[in-house]
Amino acid sequence: MSKYFKIAFDFAKKNQNALITFTSFASFVYLTRKYYFSGGRCTSKVGLDGKTVIITGANTGIGRETALDMARRGARVILACRDLDKALQTADDIRKESGNGNVFVEILDLASFESIRKFSSKINSQEDRIDILINNAGIMMCPKWKTKDGYEMQFGVNHLGHFLLTNLLLDKIKQSGPSRIINVSSRAHEKGKMNWDDLNSENSYEPQEAYRQSKLCNVLFTRELAKRLEGTNVSTHSLHPGVVRTELGRYFGETYGFKASIFKFLFYPIAMWFFKTPVEGAQTTIYCAVEENMSGLNGAYFSDCKPKQLLSHALNDNDARKLWYLSEKMTL
């Protein structure tokens, strides 16, 4: 042992400057990651006993951690997921981790209006109340795929699917007030543009632009929904969860091929240190769902557990109304 200690000591002595530089850099990365990139924390201790929470895409990532938090607060939690086997395993894990047996799974494929209608019909007939609806599921930068109803996949799942789901459950949500509808958007909406002449990407398709547009739709939908909920006991919020290590980017390789491989090899090992964990990424969703002091913030957009000012194009009421009208024509 002393021989190896001497070797290590001699190496450290000869490479003292390099070790100091490495240690300083590692400390900088750790502290930056911990105190800047990890984002805000939801500190509310409010309980959810007797409340029912529905979370889409809850079998992994942010959705899974949100569901676990809701279960720990005593809520009846419904995981609305497409992958039944994965969702059942997640529900079992959450029941064990939270000590809450009221965690259930229902099949929901947001790429199918038929599936959304079946899910909503079952929920409306079986559940006494819906206190919190969290529209969390999403797909990002996939190849040019279509939903079962013929819509571009990101626009169809990220926006139209949740638009239809929310409207089909809205009467039950209103009856359960005070209640909330949470839409998980992204900071990507800031660079999004509403391509009104080709909303469904029929003429051209660029994965990143389609994703940005779908996230802008989430914000516009939330703002118009808030206006339509005035006078009810229901509030709605949209949010940016942060850049999170989840399965959301699982289609990069299939979409971008060799370019994605280069990014993954050269940049991802470094970039991942600055990504949020799923637990950290879920904090703003949880905050919007349970924070009690939300007066005057109906329709607001949040990031790191704080309201954030939207850019002008996301505040365009005419675009929000137009999107609602077109979404109704496409879904209802």
- Would you state the structure tokens that stand for residue 77, as one six-digit string? 């939690």
Answer for the pair 285, 134: CB distance below 8 angstroms, yes or no.
Answer: yes
- Catalytic annotation, pick one of 211, 251, 287, 301: 211
256 is catalytic: no
Q: Angle at which helices 207-228 and 317-331 pack, to 10 degrees? A: 100
d(CA 129, CA 152): 32
SS3 78: strand
What strands lie across the sheet with 52-56, from one edge to the other? 103-107, 76-81, 52-56, 132-135, 179-184, 234-240, 301-303, 306-307
Cβ neighbours around 330 below 10 Å, total: 19
Contacts of 128 (CB under 8 A, 6+ apart): 52
d(CA 166, CA 122): 14
Torsion of CA 131, 168, 237, 284, to 10 degrees: 60
Dihedral sign for Cα atoms in the order 41, 44, 45, 48: negative
Kindly state the helix (H) or strand (E) to which residue 54 belongs, with its residue range: strand 52-56
Residues in the chain: 332
Answer for the pair 80, 106: CB distance below 8 angstroms, yes or no.
Answer: yes
Q: Angle at which helices 2-14 and 16-32 pack, to 10 degrees? A: 90
* Residues with active-site annotation: 211
